[in-house]
Amino acid sequence: NAGVTQTPKFQVLKTGQSMTLQCAQDMNHNSMYWYRQDPGMGLRLIYYSASEGTTDKGEVPNGYNVSRLNKREFSLRLESAAPSQTSVYFCASSDLGNTIYFGEGSWLTVV
């Protein structure tokens, strides 16, 4: 089982560049999430999608956009990357919101 797959694993961007983080899950889960993790800050929710066709802001949505392309896929886009967006990004999925399964993470550096 692949579980939650996110790409790319590593990326270096220049300030102002755009990019999309891709995420797909094969567990038929309704809910999907994007978190960022910074040292000492824990996991902070950027956006989530409770079900196909819906998206909602989390704690730190500024500078990001998301697309729930279908039940399997949930992408995160940085339109104009800033150094403050240097972080580790985790995609996750859940069926009922009480147990979530994470992807392996994407390490993003903005210079």
Partner 1 sequence: GQSLEQPSEVTAVEGAIVQINCTYQTSGFYGLSWYQQHDGGAPTFLSYNALDGLEETGRFSSFLSRSDSYGYLLLQELQMKDSASYFCAVSGNDYKLSFGAGTTVTVRA
Full DSSP string of 48-60:
EESSTT--EE-S-
* In the complex, least distance from residue 24 CB atom to partner 1, rounded to whole angstroms: 15
- The residue from 56, 79, 82, 109 that contacts partner 1 (CB under 8 A) is 56
* In the complex, least distance from residue 63 CB atom to partner 1, rounded to whole angstroms: 19
> Site residues for partner 1, window 59-98 (CB under 8 A)?
59, 90, 94, 96-98
**DSSP conformational letter for 34:** E
**DSSP conformational letter for 12:** E
Quick check: 105 binds partner 1 (CB under 8 A)?
Answer: yes
> Is there a contact between 33 and 50 (Cβ–Cβ < 8 Å)?
no
Ranges assigned E (strand) in 39-86: 42-49, 56-57, 64-68, 74-78
Site residues for partner 1 per CB under 8 A? 31, 33, 35, 40-45, 48, 50, 56, 58-59, 90, 94, 96-105
